[in-house]
Amino acid sequence: MKFLERVAIELLKNKDDFENYCIITQNKRTLLYLKTYLLKNNYDKPYWAPSFYTFRDFLINITTYNIEDEINLIFELYQTYSEQIEKDKNTSLLYDKYYNKFEEFYFWGKLLLSDFNEIDKWLVDTDKLFYTLKELKLIEEKNVSEKSNLYK
């Protein structure tokens, strides 16, 4: 017996107040299978179905915050990136590698958003994370300069 089928059977044991339940799953596919198992294992009488939500839909339903589309977030990130690069163009080492067009930036922006999402999801201490990344970059730069001195 599959896990979701066991969950459905357990839920059906309490179906007298089933309409007061709110079932939240990670994605729509899981919801579909759970609903299928609920229908399959209900033999005796009809019941009022509980509310079914994906986690994202549930958050949208209970919060006043808007959840932006990924493309809008990447575009906003690109605008911030462009402003920062323009401000630091005389001092930034990145200016030579600057992505002039949104199309050039899109892949990296999507990757960066994904990383930010992971950082947020795991409640990472960002001060420690960025401090560590900065220190790693300094070590990397020092190693590169030492290697280049060896070849001279």
Q: Residues 126-145: pLDDT tens digits?
A: 999 999 999 998 898 887 76
SS3 state of residue 56: helix
Question: What pLDDT digit, counting tens, does each position of 61-102 carry?
Answer: 998 888 888 999 999 999 998 888 888 777 656 556 666 788
**Residues 17 and 76 grouped into a single domain:** no
Final residue of a domain: which of 46, 62, 78? 62
The CA distance from 123 to 113, in Å, is 15
Spatial CB neighbours of 118, under 8 Å, sequence gap ≥ 6: none
**Residues 58 and 74 grouped into a single domain:** no
Which residue segment(s) compose the domain that 11 sits in?
A: 3-62
**Residues 87 and 104 grouped into a single domain:** yes
The CA distance from 135 to 51, in Å, is 49
Domain count, the chain: 2
**Residues 143 and 75 grouped into a single domain:** yes
**Residues 92 and 134 grouped into a single domain:** yes
**Residues 52 and 95 grouped into a single domain:** no
**Residues 76 and 132 grouped into a single domain:** yes
- Identify which has the larger pLDDT, 17 or 27: 27
**Residues 77 and 143 grouped into a single domain:** yes
